[in-house]
Chains A and B, each alone.
Chain A
Amino acid sequence: MRRLAELSGLVAPVLLLALVGVVGTFTSRSVQFQFRFALVMAAIVIALYVFVGSSGVVSFGHVSFVAVGGFAAGLTTVPEALKLSLSPDLFPVIASAEVGNAASLAIAAAVGGVFALIVGVPLMRLSGLSAGIATFAVLVITNNVLRNWEAIGPGARTLSLVPETTSFLQATVGVIAVAALAFLYQRSRWGRVLRASSDDPAAAQGAGVDIYRQRLLAFALSGALAGFAGGLLVHLLGSITTQQVYLDLAFLTLAMLVIGGFRSLWGAVVGALLVSGINSLLLTAERGLDLGIGEVTVPTGTRLVTLGAVMALILLFRPTGVTGGRELTLR
């Protein structure tokens, strides 16, 4: 019974994600893309939540892990000749690597996790504001390295012709796998002691918790999940540029987490899906939305202005997010 009550925290997010996956398949082709995109966004936001929700430390840098995961999965599934035509200086090992869809996702997760681990070794010693700023620095550095170092990727050019394998099935199964891992982690002893340490770091240390080590573990796991989500993203879009996985995406995913509620898995899922919905709607409206009573067009930029405003209002009036930072459980 205890087990069942604990598991119920996973049921609601999984059901909601599965519902979105199923409903999406019955929509028109262009709307289908929006649904799959929402599922991939949910995977990114859940990955971000694994670190932010447990440690209480904000990270602006997780999109770096999405970026390296995305490029890793893309570069390992595009033919060698195409890669070399984009970037003749590519390291031979990257140029010649060609694997299947599943293996590319595994590589994306590994690259994201290892990168986060390396970055985390110095960064996880920081907390509060300095940690937040340092993760932002990671995002900027990663973006510039990816954009300029043509031995590891296409540089500023678009990596295209990536197999579009993120079908509804792959997006749904992928995001549910990410949610399940996030849930297992938060119920694990490591997840539990880290969450306690975000309530009171001193008391947690007094109870034997090595906060640095626990944060590093969460950061690496979170980086691996973000890398995996980056793999899903590149296989959804079929192409990727460094600017697609930079500031806009960092802002959007952080807004999703804050709006949903950064303290619970349910909050991460609800935030990602809710904001994706609003986002798609506004995006359509910017191009002209037919409401049946006439077409409505909102000015370009309305989308980001609205998102920013919603995030600010949530922070002001409901800092725990629309879900109150709670899991939806039987209790």
Chain B
Amino acid sequence: MKDAAPEARRRPGESLRAGGVSRSFEGVHALDGVTLELHRHEVVGLIGPNGAGKTTLVNIVTGFDFPDEGDVELAGEEITSWPPHRRARNGLARTYQHGRLFGGLSVRENVEVAALGVGAGPREARRRADELLGLLGLDAREHASAAVLPHGEARKLGVARALATRPRFVLMDEPAAGLSEAEVPGFAEVVRTVRDEHEAGVLLIDHNVGLVLDVCDRVQVLDEGRTLAEGTPTEIRRNIDVTAAYLGGAHA
């Protein structure tokens, strides 16, 4: 199955869709009619310069913000007005640009609490923490306070915590920020594991374009709140507009 084309891995009805989403903040269009589709068993990259609207889109999809226009659908059901906790309990998880870890808890507890949050029992929560701390390479740090983790490990813990909710879809907002170059291939492997073994759809936002092009099945490029381009990594790499908008631009 790993070698199958992205289309073949898709299952009908198992999709997350934001349709025609617009959102303004005090007259500034953060998003202007963006449509994003994510299927289980695929990794979609979302790239674009700072201020392109990537995080706004993630916030709207996960219920932390609401669109002025457009809607959000999860497996065919409209969820645009659902609160975040309800979306999480229905298989939607995310990581945060600024970590947002539970600083008063240990690394292990952060993962366990996320499992408990969506209704898992204590035993199951421990099991998931065992598994996910291993997957992300955080076993040795399990008793450390989440507040003192270095940047890279904090991002990994964010991913482990999101996965502890056993999501159907995970939205990762700059999960590789703070990782060293040497750690990036390992992280790409984690993303593939989530897709292939956890059978989740992954939306990957990252400034590391190499990582995004390497691991994603499809890539969508946002600029100034609009979709500038979308296609396979190969197509995107060739796309000159993108080069102008992003690759050639400052790596801000």
Point out residues on A near B: beta carbons under 8 Å: 189, 192-193, 195-196, 198-200, 202-211, 263
> Does B113 lie within 8 Å of A192, measured CB to CB?
yes
Distance of A189 Cα from B96 Cα, bound (Å):
23
Interface assignment of B185: CB less than 8 Å from any CB of chain A: no
> Does A206 lie within 8 Å of B116, measured CB to CB?
no
Distance of A207 Cα from B91 Cα, bound (Å):
10
Distance of A199 Cα from B93 Cα, bound (Å):
18
> Does B121 lie within 8 Å of A189, measured CB to CB?
yes
> Does A207 lie within 8 Å of B88, measured CB to CB?
yes
Question: A213's closest neighbor in chain B, by CB?
Answer: B85
> Does A207 lie within 8 Å of B109, measured CB to CB?
no
Interface assignment of B27: CB less than 8 Å from any CB of chain A: no
**Quick check: which of B7-15, B16-24, B98-106, B203-211 contacts chain A, the rest being far away?**
B98-106
> Does B85 lie within 8 Å of A199, measured CB to CB?
no
Minimal beta-carbon separation of A216 from chain B (angstroms): 14
> Does A200 lie within 8 Å of B100, measured CB to CB?
yes
* Extra pairs beyond A193-B113, A208-B85, A210-B86 (11, CB < 8 Å): A192-B113, A192-B116, A195-B105, A203-B100, A203-B101, A204-B102, A205-B64, A205-B83, A207-B113, A208-B114, A209-B85
Q: Give 5 closest A-B pairs by Cβ, nearest first.
A: A208-B118, A207-B117, A208-B88, A207-B114, A208-B117
Contact with A along B92-130 (1 / 0, CB 8 A): 011010001111110001101110111101100100000
Minimal beta-carbon separation of B219 from chain A (angstroms): 25
Distance of A209 Cα from B88 Cα, bound (Å):
8
- Inter-chain contacts of B103 with A (CB < 8 A): 199-200
Minimal beta-carbon separation of B145 from chain A (angstroms): 11
Which of A196, A198, A204, A205 has the most B CB atoms < 10 Å from its CB?
A: A196
- Inter-chain contacts of A189 with B (CB < 8 A): 116, 121-122, 125
Distance of A138 Cα from B182 Cα, bound (Å):
58
Minimal beta-carbon separation of A112 from chain B (angstroms): 27
- Inter-chain contacts of A198 with B (CB < 8 A): 104
Given the known inter-chain contacts A202-B64, A203-B96, please indicate yes or no for A209 contacting B101, CB distance below 8 A: no
> Does B113 lie within 8 Å of A206, measured CB to CB?
no
Distance of A199 Cα from B113 Cα, bound (Å):
12
- Inter-chain contacts of B119 with A (CB < 8 A): 208
Given the known inter-chain contacts A192-B113, A193-B117, please indicate yes or no for A208 contacting B105, CB distance below 8 A: no
> Does A207 lie within 8 Å of B161, measured CB to CB?
yes
Distance of A189 Cα from B121 Cα, bound (Å):
8
Q: Which of B102, B118, B122, B125 is in CB contact (< 8 Å) with A203?
A: B102
> Does B85 lie within 8 Å of A210, measured CB to CB?
yes
Question: A188's closest neighbor in chain B, by CB?
Answer: B122
Distance of A164 Cα from B114 Cα, bound (Å):
47
Distance of A195 Cα from B103 Cα, bound (Å):
11
Instruction: Name 10 A/B residue pairs within 8 A (Cβ), A-sorted.
Output: A189-B116, A199-B103, A200-B103, A203-B101, A204-B102, A204-B113, A204-B117, A205-B83, A205-B88, A263-B104
- Inter-chain contacts of B100 with A (CB < 8 A): 200, 202-203, 206
Which of A189, A193, A208, A211 has the most B CB atoms < 10 Å from its CB?
A: A208
- Inter-chain contacts of B102 with A (CB < 8 A): 196, 199-200, 203-204
- Inter-chain contacts of B89 with A (CB < 8 A): 208
Interface assignment of B55: CB less than 8 Å from any CB of chain A: no
Distance of A169 Cα from B12 Cα, bound (Å):
66
- Inter-chain contacts of A205 with B (CB < 8 A): 63-64, 83-85, 88
- Inter-chain contacts of A263 with B (CB < 8 A): 104
Minimal beta-carbon separation of B36 from chain A (angstroms): 18
Minimal beta-carbon separation of A211 from chain B (angstroms): 8
Q: Which of B201-244 contact A (CB under 8 A)?
A: none
Q: Which of A196, A204, A206, A211 is in CB contact (< 8 Å) with B94?
A: A206
- Inter-chain contacts of A193 with B (CB < 8 A): 113, 116-117
- Inter-chain contacts of A204 with B (CB < 8 A): 102, 113, 117
Interface assignment of B56: CB less than 8 Å from any CB of chain A: no
Minimal beta-carbon separation of A280 from chain B (angstroms): 34
Question: B83's closest neighbor in chain A, by CB?
Answer: A205
Minimal beta-carbon separation of B202 from chain A (angstroms): 16
Which of B93, B116, B125, B162 has the most A CB atoms < 10 Å from its CB?
A: B116
Distance of A202 Cα from B84 Cα, bound (Å):
8
Distance of A322 Cα from B117 Cα, bound (Å):
31
- Inter-chain contacts of B117 with A (CB < 8 A): 193, 196, 204, 207-209
Distance of A199 Cα from B105 Cα, bound (Å):
9
- Inter-chain contacts of A208 with B (CB < 8 A): 85, 88-89, 114, 117-119, 165
Interface assignment of B62: CB less than 8 Å from any CB of chain A: yes
Minimal beta-carbon separation of B200 from chain A (angstroms): 15
Distance of A192 Cα from B111 Cα, bound (Å):
12
Question: A209's closest neighbor in chain B, by CB?
Answer: B117
Minimal beta-carbon separation of A40 from chain B (angstroms): 30
Distance of A204 Cα from B102 Cα, bound (Å):
8
Distance of A200 Cα from B109 Cα, bound (Å):
14
> Does B104 lie within 8 Å of A199, measured CB to CB?
yes
